[in-house]
Structure 1
Amino acid sequence: MSALRVGIRVPPCDRAYRIVETVRRAEQLGFDDVWFPDSQLLWRDVFTTLTAAALGTERIGLGTAVTNLATRHPAVVASAARSVAELAPGRFTLGLGVGNSSVGPIGLRQTTSAAMREGIGMLRALLHGEEWDFEGKVRSRLRDPRPEVPLHLAASGPKNLRLAGEIADGVILLSGVSPKTLAQAIARVREGAEGSGRTAQPPLTVSAFCAVTDDIAAEARQIKPICASIAQNGGAPFLALAGIDVQVPATVPGVYPDLVHAEDWKAAVDICSAWISDEAALRFAQEFCLFGTADQITDRLRALETSGVTGVFLQHVGSYDPPADLIEAVGTSVLTHLKGNDR
């Protein structure tokens, strides 16, 4: 029996009551958590969806993966988090990140490390019912606070990984499951924790694209835009550690709104084929993702647990449909092996 928490990423891509049906199925099949991304132009409001999910489920953990403190003021996030936590006591995790697809389409910049430090400080104070000095003009507090809400920080670069280890209640690692890159990421988190005098490393949740398949090469071609986006956004050195040497231009025309969330996925795959070969995509799937048979994925999840990871959330390819097929495939095969579920 594995203690590793296995979650699934579900974009709020449809009406809330329909998304809740997907979440209920994940709960029935034994998933531990459902994580919802937040991007105001791509999907429905994440906290509206979380509210419906909280009311429509009983056991499964609920979290944001992730919301941000750029399009949403920390005080607004604190109120929303408190409201969801009231509906799902002990089940809600507030995952935070720099913004990415929330800030880019409206011309804002990603949250800096300094701003993230201050924002998390404000969030934590408000959720604990403490007063906060707002720009030296007024001191205010949150009524009916919920101090038990854990604050998890998503990070990929060294600076934010150390920051997460220093101040967050948990860390969402965006490095994939490649052993070399994962070890480096965990080391940076540990540095931050030790530097701040923390006696224990915070919980670590890894995000990973997943496909239960007997034909990894065929499925791997579909994640070329993901690999290209990593290379485009400063991740080429991480890819190189796994033997993937690719160069992608800073701007890729013909893809909206971005490589990871392309509305026309087939076109994005074709465009990215100019830089990401089938061989590179296969290597990426094998190293950074959880692609393979149920047995192969189960073995890799067990290996993650021995590396110190406490949780994983799985992603499917695509942003505008719920991961129903992935939930069925993992829930009826991988989880039965990993956790002994008989649902």
Structure 2
Amino acid sequence: MSALRIGIRVPPCDRADRITDTVRRAEQLGFDDVWFPDSQLLWRDVFTTLTAAALGTERIGLGTAVTNLATRHPAVLASAARSVAELAPGRFTLGLGVGNSSVGPIGLRQTTSAAMRAGIDMLRALLAGEVWDFESPTGGKVRSRLRDPRPEVPLHLAASGPKNLRLAGEIADGVILLSGVSPKTLAQAAARVREGAEAAGRTAQLPLTVSAFCAVTDDIEAEARQIKPICASIAQNGGAPFLALAGIDVQVPATVSGVYPDLVHAEDWKAAVDICSAWVSDEAALRFAQEFCLFGSAEQITDRLRALHTSGVTGVFLQHVGSYDPPTGLVEAVGTSVLTHLKGNDR
């Protein structure tokens, strides 16, 4: 079994050159990957940031986690992906999702499974240099292709619901699991991915990357309180059954006022925590942190990462609380403690 890849999520929340400083530090400390989210109103352009990171690093993997096919046409994505991949050969992964914080603030719908399948088909064909028949507004076809293609760019699909998990298993080069590190929910998600792969006649194991909020701490209770908005958002967006599997009963209204732009990306995090305390108790937040997140001492986090690897997970990307500052503290804490423990054994 290949070594577990440890990544870090870095929002493009500052100038690209400054964000590259964080990426370069992650590379120095031994992280395998850096993943950048894409949301045009929240952060700087993700492909501008990726370009700077590609030019400023030598080894570390770079990826989107995630971009989308709603605000970016597949042909535009193909060109952008090709442009980054040629600056970081063998290091770039294009992670795709339904849109979330990209589409919500501008009134667009999330990408449906059918549109995702069609978009990935087009994207893969263009990256391979194939001619594609685009629909013309006059009713005909326009045949075009991408000049200087990069067919080696892997396309990973982020998924949480059963339909998209099966779709990922069927058509993606890898899967980004958004269910956290809870063993029960991970097992269910991985089973749906396998179903999709088997239906498509695929036998090779797909890379499975799991996202998880992380804090190296001796005071889990205090840190857990800070992720109440995350727990509330999961419950609000159809994830209550997943939480219930871990014994967490949280009911959140469909609309929560006083938080902008949404619970996960709140600009005033303290206010979001206070508001969500009406539905997420301290006990529920602690249970959520223990079950779905990687909170604890370096040794505890290391043990959980090894267990994840044993279960079939091939990579993780760690998230800090907050969207508008780089995760410099988490990079240092994990890089100087957790990665040291892992490197001494199975890395």
TM-score for both structures, normalised by structure 2? 0.97
For 1:26-49, what per-residue CA distance to the aligned partner results, in whole angstroms no more than 9, with x for missing partners?
000000000000000000000000
Measure, in 2, the Cα distance between the counterparts of 1:278 and 1:342. Answer: 35
Residue 340 of structure 1: how far off its partner (Å):
2.9
1:14 counterpart residue number: 14
Q: 1:341 to 1:31 in 2, by over 3 A?
A: farther
Are 2:3 and 2:346, in contact at CA under 8 Å, matched by a contact in 1?
A: no
Query: What SS does structure 2 have at the residue aligned with 1:105?
Result: helix
Which one is further off, 1-10 or 38-47? Answer: 1-10
Are 1:335 and 1:341, in contact at CA under 8 Å, matched by a contact in 2?
A: no
For 1:79-99, what per-residue CA distance to the aligned partner results, in whole angstroms no more than 9, with x for missing partners?
000000000000000000000
Are 1:30 and 1:341, in contact at CA under 8 Å, matched by a contact in 2?
A: no
Matched, 1:120 2:120: yes
Query: What SS does structure 1 have at the residue aligned with 2:333?
Result: helix
For 1:38-77, what per-residue CA distance to the aligned partner results, in whole angstroms no more than 9, with x for missing partners?
0000000000000000000000000000000000000000
Query: What SS does structure 2 have at the residue aligned with 1:295?
Result: helix
Residue 314 of structure 1: how far off its partner (Å):
0.1
Are 1:5 and 1:310, in contact at CA under 8 Å, matched by a contact in 2?
A: yes
Measure, in 2, the Cα distance between the counterparts of 1:133 and 1:276. Answer: 50
Q: How many percent identity over aligned positions?
A: 94
Are 1:208 and 1:312, in contact at CA under 8 Å, matched by a contact in 2?
A: yes
Query: What SS does structure 1 have at the residue aligned with 2:158?
Result: strand
Query: What SS does structure 1 have at the residue aligned with 2:86?
Result: helix
Measure, in 2, the Cα distance between the counterparts of 1:228 and 1:130. Answer: 44
**Paired residues, what number?**
343
Residue 137 of structure 1: how far off its partner (Å):
1.8
Measure, in 2, the Cα distance between the counterparts of 1:101 and 1:201. Answer: 30
Residue 339 of structure 1: how far off its partner (Å):
1.7
Measure, in 2, the Cα distance between the counterparts of 1:189 and 1:251. Answer: 31
2:241 counterpart residue number: 237
Measure, in 1, the Cα distance between the counterparts of 2:345 and 2:84. Answer: 28
Measure, in 2, the Cα distance between the counterparts of 1:164 and 1:267. Answer: 36
Are 1:166 and 1:192, in contact at CA under 8 Å, matched by a contact in 2?
A: yes
Residue 199 of structure 1: how far off its partner (Å):
1.1
Ranges in structure 1 where 5+ consecutive residues have no aligned partner: none
Query: What SS does structure 1 have at the residue aligned with 2:227?
Result: helix
Kindly report the root-mean-square deviation, in angstroms, between the aligned alpha carbons of the 2 structures.
Answer: 1.4
Q: 1:219 to 1:78 in 2, by over 3 A?
A: same
Query: What SS does structure 2 have at the residue aligned with 1:101?
Result: coil
For 1:147-179, what per-residue CA distance to the aligned partner results, in whole angstroms no more than 9, with x for missing partners?
000000000000000000000000000000000
Q: 1:221 to 1:120 in 2, by over 3 A?
A: same
Measure, in 1, the Cα distance between the counterparts of 2:185 and 2:322. Answer: 24
For 1:88-147, what per-residue CA distance to the aligned partner results, in whole angstroms no more than 9, with x for missing partners?
000000000000000000000000000000000000000000011112521110000000
Measure, in 2, the Cα distance between the counterparts of 1:149 and 1:101. Answer: 24
Q: 1:2 to 1:283 in 2, by over 3 A?
A: farther
Query: What SS does structure 2 have at the residue aligned with 1:312?
Result: strand
Measure, in 2, the Cα distance between the counterparts of 1:280 and 1:36. Answer: 29
Q: 1:132 to 1:242 in 2, by over 3 A?
A: same
Are 1:22 and 1:324, in contact at CA under 8 Å, matched by a contact in 2?
A: yes
TM-score for both structures, normalised by structure 1? 0.99
Residue 232 of structure 1: how far off its partner (Å):
0.1
Ranges in structure 2 where 5+ consecutive residues have no aligned partner: none
